[in-house]
Amino acid sequence: MLPLILREISFRKGHTTIMLCGLISVTALMTAYLSTESAAERETKRVARDLGFNLRILPKQTDMDLYWFQGFSDQTMPEATVERLANYQGVFMTYNHLMASLRQKITMGGGDVILVGVAPTITSPDKKKRPMGFTIKARTLHLGYQVGQRLGLKSGDTLQLSGHDFKIEKVMVEYGTEEDVYVYGTLKDVQGIAGKPGQINEIKAIDCLCLTADQDPISILRNELEKILPEAKVIQDRVQADARARQRQMVQRKFEFLSPFLMVCGAIWVAVLSALNVRERRSEIGIWRALGKGGGFIAGLVIGKAMIIGFFAGFLGFWVGNTMALEVGPSIFQITAKAIKTEWSYLVWSLILTPLLAAAASFIPAMLAVTQDPAETLRES
Amino acid sequence: MLTCESLCKYYQSSKGMVKSLDEINLSVSKGEFLEVRGHSGSGKTTLLLTLGAMMQPTQGKVVFKGTDLYRLNRAERARVRSSSIGFVFQMFHLIPYLDVVGNVLAGDDGNHSGACSKSEALLQELGLGHRLNHLPNQLSAGEKQRVALARAMVASPDLILADEPTGNLDPENSKEVCRHLKRYQEKGGTVIVVTHGDAVHDFANRTIDLKAGEIIPGPLLDPQSDEA
């Protein structure tokens, strides 16, 4: 049967080309979309991550009015709190990153600055994600833009605090936020400067809970953390958490919509063309019947043709889609452009799924061909 | 070899019931060349398709080599057609993407050794030796019909059913086709040709006339008339 199908395919070049183009388009778009999808996802996460942390854990006695007013808690809690939180196997509470810090207002160069001591980020052992943020070496400081301007300091200079010399590792660019008056150091150094050894006053956490916006996670979290961190209280950065969730869901929804849409369009395209092909071949089908060929043979001619065209469309569609992803993708997803690469597994899937899609789409036309009364056809013509 | 009893085929049309075949009783012996004549719409093609296991009659039966064809299921009837019946049509019905040899072998299921050489020998015999690799659209009408004849004959079926095989041919090609059918019959095959013309008349052993789905006694067609 294969030689017959191949001869028919090469004989009806116009029909073959149109069907091939339709299937190539679907496969190419799917391949291009999937190839850039991981880059888009990474880009989305990157953007979402930059929105900030979605949980803050503060000492229980924190005066929240003062906290919001000055940007840090006036209370402290033991540094071990973050270790306890990291080791806790929570039911609702999950996290990707935990970062403990001690914040303290000090006067420096005639003005106030917020001194921030940052502990190394703790990454969830389950997530295998790289630590976030920047690393600060002992006895070095990162100055906010405004502090650097006020003190006239630049990278490599030395600053004396509490009788110790600190090297200025970096003066940060202007963020246009309160971070411009921050001075970052290691937690240990800042604890020493502030005279609060072993103390922190904030734990920031990311991706601690995946709840939809219509639920109220804060009371669940508070109940859970109350048991392990009686000295702390939790506030959720709801807006940022929701924004992150919405952004991810949007990407997901876009794909969930696009995939079936493309598949349905491709299937309709193939089905219509197969039906037209069957109509065009009415007398041929009649003569095959007269020659004693059964329904399986007739269906095989229609579905086999679709599958063979689907196979070539799978290959060409992958090639076109992959080229599109490699050529156009980097200009769209600039942050993670290097992550866009040829995904050979998509070639395998294209070679499997495109013929199957074509076969499924040509099933009804094939059944029309099988049930067509050959006598009627031969009598009419 | 082939008999039909009380064969009826009715169609429901917008104008009411159409009797395409009405109480046809017919017996065809092995080695016979039967001509079935009738005007357009007389039921000739319906009779041919019914005899050829292609069209279920409304009532009556068709017995071919001792088997009531319409007691068989579709697949079994298909096997009977494949092994024992060859068809030739007025419009040739060649498969457009197969060359001459491919068309002749179209009905071959691949189980017959030497089918290809047999088909080529048959095509040589039919004067198509120089056209073996041509597509149907590269052939004249006479050549197409000879390819259709070869396709019908290649499996050496017991019965060849030809529906207006000369209907699209000039007189010379018509005679050529009839001669080949006659030769097939003379070699032991059975041939039934339905026609509205008189080209086949001189080659047939027996002629029956069909009018409004019934076999009528005596000559129906005026040899001078060639009404379509």
Q: Which residues of B touch A381 (CB under 8 A)?
A: 89, 91, 93
Can you give the pLDDT at residue A198?
Answer: 93
Can you give the pLDDT at residue A352?
Answer: 93
Written out in words, the top-level CATH class of the domain with range B2-216 is alpha beta
Rounded-to-10 torsion of CA A81, A87, A92, A94 = 100
Written as one string, the DSSP assignment of A209-226 is: ----TTS-HHHHHHHHHH
Domain match, A204 and A60 both:
yes
Domain match, A36 and A81 both:
no
Domain match, A268 and A334 both:
yes
- Burial label, A325 (beta-carbon count in 10 A; 0-12, 13-18, 19+): buried
Domain final residue, candidates A236, A265, A282? A236
Instruction: Report the residue of A371, A379, A381 to disrupt the B interface, i.e. the one with the largest count of B CBs within 10 Å.
Output: A379
Under DSSP, is residue B81 helix (H, G, I), strand (E, B) or coil? helix
Output A366 or B109, whichever has higher pLDDT.
Answer: A366
CB B8 within 8 A of CB B22: yes
Q: Which residues pair with A102 in a beta bridge?
A: A117
Tell me whether residues B95 and A293 touch, CB distance under 8 A. Answer: no
Can you give the pLDDT at residue A210?
Answer: 43
Domain extent for A256:
2-47+245-380
Structure tokens at A296: 């399986």
Closest in A12, A284, A289 to B95, CB measured: A284
Q: Which residues pair with A108 in a beta bridge?
A: A111
Structure tokens at A28: 């190419």
Provide the residue count of chain B.
Answer: 228
* Exposure string over A22-53, b if 16+ CB within 10 A, otherwise e: bbbbbbbbbbbbbbbbebbbebbbeebbebeb
Q: Which residues pair with A122 in a beta bridge?
A: A98
Can you give the pLDDT at residue A48?
Answer: 55
In chain A, which among 275-334 make CB contacts under 8 A with chain B? 283-284, 286-295
**Distance of alpha carbon B204 from alpha carbon B33, whole angstroms:** 5
| pLDDT digit string, tens, across residues A235-290 | 876 666 566 667 666 766 777 777 788 888 888 888 888 888 888 888 888 888 87
Residue B10 main-chain phi, psi, to 5 deg = -115, 145
Q: Which residues pair with B7 in a beta bridge?
A: B24
Can you give the pLDDT at residue A207?
Answer: 61
Domain match, A69 and A204 both:
yes
Residue B87 at interface with chain A, using a CB cutoff of 8 Å: yes
Helix axis angle for A295-332 and A363-371, nearest 10°, is: 160
Query: Among A301-310, A365-374, B174-183, where is mean pLDDT lowest?
Result: A365-374
Domain count, chain A: 2
Closest in B80, B89, B96 to A11, CB measured: B96
Provide the residue count of chain A.
Answer: 381
Residue A374 at interface with chain B, using a CB cutoff of 8 Å: yes
**Distance of alpha carbon A12 from alpha carbon A112, whole angstroms:** 81
Domain final residue, candidates A193, A217, A236? A236
Domain match, A38 and A157 both:
no
HSE-up of B155 (CA within 13 Å, CB side)? 28
Tell me whether residues B54 and A294 touch, CB distance under 8 A. Answer: no
CB B190 within 8 A of CB B160: yes
Domain match, A206 and A118 both:
yes
Tell me whether residues B98 and A12 touch, CB distance under 8 A. Answer: no
Planar angle of CA A99, A104, A109, nearest 5 degrees: 125
Closest in B46, B55, B81 to A291, CB measured: B81
**Distance of alpha carbon B102 from alpha carbon A38, whole angstroms:** 51
Domain match, A251 and A351 both:
yes
Q: What residue of B is the nearest CA neighbor of A4? A: B98
Can you give the pLDDT at residue A212?
Answer: 38
Can you give the pLDDT at residue A130?
Answer: 55
**Distance of alpha carbon B158 from alpha carbon B164, whole angstroms:** 19
Q: What residue of A is the nearest CA neighbor of B104? A: A291
Domain match, A41 and A64 both:
no
Residue A379 at interface with chain B, using a CB cutoff of 8 Å: yes
Please determine, for residue A215, whether its predicted confidence score (pLDDT) is greater than 80. Answer: no
Q: Which residues of A touch B151 (CB under 8 A)?
A: 291
Q: What residue of A is the nearest CA neighbor of B91? A: A381
Can you give the pLDDT at residue A55?
Answer: 78
**Distance of alpha carbon A151 from alpha carbon A156, whole angstroms:** 14
Looking at this predicted complex, what is its ipTM?
Answer: 0.76
| pLDDT digit string, tens, across residues A104-142 | 999 887 888 999 999 988 876 665 555 555 678 999 999
Domain match, A174 and A276 both:
no
**Distance of alpha carbon B165 from alpha carbon B147, whole angstroms:** 12
Domain match, A6 and A66 both:
no
Domain match, A372 and A253 both:
yes
Domain final residue, candidates A211, A236, A261? A236
Domain match, A264 and A194 both:
no
Closest in A10, A289, A381 to B91, CB measured: A381
Tell me whether residues B54 and A289 touch, CB distance under 8 A. Answer: yes
Per-domain residue ranges of chain B: 2-216
Tell me whether residues B107 and A291 touch, CB distance under 8 A. Answer: yes
Tell me whether residues A379 and B52 touch, CB distance under 8 A. Answer: no
Q: Which residues of A touch B98 (CB under 8 A)?
A: 4, 7
Structure tokens at B176: 């050529």
Can you give the pLDDT at residue A309?
Answer: 92
| Phi and psi based region of residue A356 (left: phi greater than 0; alpha: psi -120 to 50; beta: remaining) | alpha
Tell me whether residues A4 and B74 touch, CB distance under 8 A. Answer: no
